Amino acid sequence: MGHTIENMLSPYRILDLTNEQGYMCGKLLGGLGADVIKIEKPGGDRGRNMGPFFHDTPDPKKSLYWFAFNTDKRGITLDIETTDGQEILKRLVRNADIVIESFPPGYMDKLGLGYSVLSRINRRIIMTSITGFGQTGPHKDYKAPDIVVWALSGNAYIFGDPDRAPLRPSFPNFSYIVAGVLQATIGTLIALYHREIIGEGQHVDASAQLSLIWPFNAEPPGLWREDGTIVKRQGRDYLRPQVGRDGKTFWVGAPMLWQCKDGDIAFTIMAGLGQGESTKALTQWVDSEGMAGETLKKIDWISFQWETVSQDVLDEVIKDFGKFFMTRTQAELLEGAQKRGIMLYPVLMPKDILKLRQLEFRRYWEEVNHPELGTSITYPGPFFKTSLALDRRYRRAPLIGEHNEEIYIKELGLSKQELLILKQNGVV
Amino acid sequence: MRPFEEVKILDFTWLGVGPLAVNYLSFYGATAIKVESAKRPDPLRHLTPYVKGIPGLERSYYWAHAHPAKRLDITLNLNNPKAIEIAKRLVAWADVVAESFIPGTMEKWGLGYEDLKKLKPDIIMLRTCMHGQTGPSAKHPGLGLVLTALSGYVAITGWPDRPPSGLYGAFTDFIAPLFNAICLIAALEYRRRTGKGQCLDVSQHEAVMHCIEPLLLDSVVNRREPTRNGNRIEYAAPHGIYRCQGDDRWCAIAVFTDEEWKSFCRVIGNPAWTDDAKFHTLLGRKQNEDELDRLVEEWTSQHTPEEVMDLMQAAGVGAGLTANAKDISEDPQLKHYQCYQELDHPETGKMSFYLPPGFTLSKASYERVRPPILGEYNEYVYTKLLGIPDEEFVQLMQEGVFD
């Protein structure tokens, strides 16, 4: 029942009301030792319908999406839209430290479960709300599916090939997962740390759109400021905008993604002190194969200036590198890159990632037991290592209502009869 | 009092990931001394474009982007033994030491975790790099630009009929720091409770792969690799980014439920084609998705993306104009959250450019401060904080200790 061995957040209990957009917050906090209780609608969260599924059986008990993002959580069912459900949640809040939710703004308030109410029940409660656009503002009530957030974050416009539509990665809820939820987790921990100073909790308002402005990066807003230049999608190339002394923007660049003998690799031509060594090392390798042209041989990558190079020169370099890459496989290029200190990596698929010697050496992979499936599954392990001997064992995602008895009867003191009534009425 | 007002960080990080992680503490009151070297300033200072196209160590847009939070910037030449002594005094001052060098670098200077613990037993050391501190790839240099390839993010971004398009720039450079900040703040909380410090070994690769964890499980369990689907999604249609009126103007639309589909049809004027039975059901729309997308785009091309977004959102359908930099600068929701703050800078002047955290706290405010100037706080840190007498300070300066 809960964690008995110490980890960084072991004393803390978290009530996790998130949907499939927000699951990862509780997962990370649970991985740090918090007692996370995932609260699902009776019958299970909608997120359990997200594929892929274990052996392709579309079953709410077999969603790999659910498995991945709900590790280290216990699970109960509760319908917070019922009066009984709300009362039970409030009782749980009394002894909880954090509530995380990802409902549309105003939903929790409408149910009488907003921060103002919960903080009166427990002044130390921290509430973290994760949404597409934030709790307030002119667009707070916008429907915020993932692709809409990508579009309004500016990132879609700068992803993809110039001859096609702007693009977003083919992964559901990615804008939430890589940005909004991670930032919400940071905010939550800051509130937790702050709580010891001010003696009370507070409300964390995380916006996926605002979080995603960071990877929108420096150039698009910077060049817009400079002279109204709009950075557009560049596909597999990395074009460098240079602002000339006449104030006008021009572009030079080279591929970031290249084809090789058996797939794609990523390599960016970098120059200057510290960064140019990589390109220098590649040039030496290419030259040792007799494949470096005169232009390439003459370049000093340490003193190379992006501001003054012409695209013609770069095109020669691109030709030589491109031809060289086509003579080698991903594995050969990675091996050579590692040996020579070249910042070159293959474009990996999961099956390649699973085979990486580095991750095996680091004992990154964890076998997590799924007794309900009669097997264990290999998961990526903790996202950091520490010198402390903390309890870092993984627990698989909860089954539907798996901990109902533990929480409702043993902790809250409901009788078996009461739980039966609530179950049959659909409250739990 | 701000949450981290009593937290002191000795920040050796450079480029993107490290500083972006430390920002979350600086935003909320931590005092972070950033250690650079005049001979080898942070390479991010050299990344073009520059403000007004004029090269300069204080003029890089990338630099401004990554440093909207306070740093006490000092220069210290760690190849000088006297500098190492000074660094050790700063370690004794600090609660956290953060670094993002190639593994072994800090050890070379006598500043590895074991060394730091001797100076401050409860020190928290944050070590972040591409592959982590150990392993055959530990010393293989890397960049966010290529981490996207190594972590599976590139493989999933593109169209089904061509090789991956990849992501813009060093995308994972904005995800890895978030993981770093999470374990760092958790470590501070743990130390507050137990008095124990620790050494955090963060592999950026290991961290960012958690975001695609279901794909790893799919490969393990089903031996299946992910596909690139452009802007489509398996279980909804219409779902995509559609061309609108104007030059390279687009709007994302996503219809998930029957109700949203009915609203969508109403917004576009219930044209005859929406009566066709094949579009009534989700399965029907998925089976005829090419035709559906063409028909949707026939409508969107008659409207600006603003109109599409306004009309759809008003009807309860998810839609968002595909914002470019101009749109982002004008976005009212981002303005509401004070996305780009104007700050004054001695060299680049007033710039409305500095980003906030992606969240707000109801009882703690964050503070944005203009990027640090190289060596700006040398005198303060060395003579006031460390109390080095003026004559000695000048002597050390002449010996190149602060280069």
The residue assigned the tokens 């070249």 is A342
Among the listed residues A339, A326, A353, A314, the one whose alpha carbon sits nearest the alpha carbon of residue B147 = A353
Question: What is the predicted pLDDT for the residue at A5?
Answer: 57
What average pLDDT does this structure show over A188-202? 98
Nearest-neighbour CA in chain B from A5: distance (Å): 14
Domain residue spans of chain B: 8-211+338-398, 239-330
Q: In order of start, what are the domains of chain A with their CATH numbers?
A: 13-213+364-425 (3.40.50.10540), 233-347 (3.30.1540)
Encode pLDDT of B11-27 as tens digits. 999 999 999 999 999 99
Encode pLDDT of A381-406 as tens digits. 999 999 999 878 789 999 999 999 99
The reply to whether B239-330 shares the fold of B8-211+338-398 is no
| Encoded tokens for A367 | 């076998």
Residue A243: pLDDT band by 50, 70, 90 thresholds? low
Nearest-neighbour CA in chain B from A64: distance (Å): 6
CB distance A236 to A209 below 8 Å? no
Q: Which residues contact B135 (CB under 8 A, 6 or more apart)?
A: A357, A358, A361, A362
Residue B91 to residue B39: CA distance in whole angstroms: 22
Question: What is the predicted pLDDT for the residue at B53?
Answer: 86
Subunit contact A187:B319, Cβ cutoff 8 A: no
Q: Which residues contact A386 (CB under 8 A, 6 or more apart)?
A: B183, B187, B198, B199, B200, B201
Question: What is the predicted pLDDT for the residue at B199?
Answer: 98
Question: What is the predicted pLDDT for the residue at A246?
Answer: 75
| Encoded tokens for A213 | 């402005």
Average pLDDT, chain A: 95
Active-site hit among B173, B201, B275, B403: B173
Encode pLDDT of B145-155 as tens digits. 789 999 999 99
User: Regarding predicted confidence, which is higher, B39 or A109?
Assistant: A109
Q: Does the structure show a pLDDT above 70 at A140?
A: yes
Contacts of B213 in chain A (CB under 8 A): 68-69, 379-380
| Encoded tokens for A420 | 């039966």
Subunit contact A160:B165, Cβ cutoff 8 A: yes
Q: Does the structure show a pLDDT above 60 at A54?
A: yes
Return the SS3 of A89.
helix
Classify the phi-psi angles of B60: left when phi > 0, otherwise alpha if psi is within -120 to 50, otherwise beta: beta
Subunit contact B157:A224, Cβ cutoff 8 A: no
Residue A4 to residue B274: CA distance in whole angstroms: 59
| Encoded tokens for B379 | 């005198």
CB distance B184 to B99 below 8 Å? no
Amino acid, res. A417:
Q
Query: Of all residues in chain A, what percent carry a pLDDT higher than 70?
Result: 98
Q: Does the structure show a pLDDT above 80 at A273?
A: no
CB distance A14 to A171 below 8 Å? no
Domain B239-330 of CATH type 3.30.1540.10 = yes
Contacts of A200 in chain B (CB under 8 A): 363
Question: What is the predicted pLDDT for the residue at A3?
Answer: 43
Return the SS3 of A321.
helix
Question: What is the predicted pLDDT for the residue at A221?
Answer: 97
In chain B, count H helices and then E strands: 17, 12
Contacts of B297 in chain A (CB under 8 A): none
What average pLDDT does this structure show over A236-262? 84
Q: Which of A266, A277, A350 sits opposite B215 (nearest CB)?
A: A350
Residue B318 to residue B260: CA distance in whole angstroms: 8
Which runs of E-coded beta strand occur in A111-230?
126-131, 203-207
Put simply, whether B215 touches A (Cβ < 8 Å) is yes
Residue B217 to residue A84: CA distance in whole angstroms: 38
What average pLDDT does this structure show over A232-260? 85
Under 8 Å CB pairs connecting chains A and B tally to 526
Residue A400 to residue A60: CA distance in whole angstroms: 9
Contacts of B360 in chain A (CB under 8 A): 187, 204-205
CA distances to A243, B30, B224, B334, B353 from B341, rounded to whole Å, are 23, 20, 45, 11, 6
Element (DSSP H or E) covering residue B32: strand B31-36
Question: What is the predicted pLDDT for the residue at A275?
Answer: 79
Active site residue B173: yes
Residue ranges, chain B, pLDDT below 50: none
Superfamily of the domain at B8-211+338-398: Crotonobetainyl-coa:carnitine coa-transferase; domain 1 (3.40.50.10540)
Residue A244: pLDDT band by 50, 70, 90 thresholds? low
CB distance A222 to B49 below 8 Å? yes
Residue B83 to residue B397: CA distance in whole angstroms: 10
CA distances to A135, A207, B32, B91, B365 from B359, rounded to whole Å, are 10, 6, 21, 31, 10
Return the SS3 of B149.
helix
Put simply, whether B56 touches A (Cβ < 8 Å) is no
Contacts of A210 in chain B (CB under 8 A): 334, 337, 339, 356, 358-359
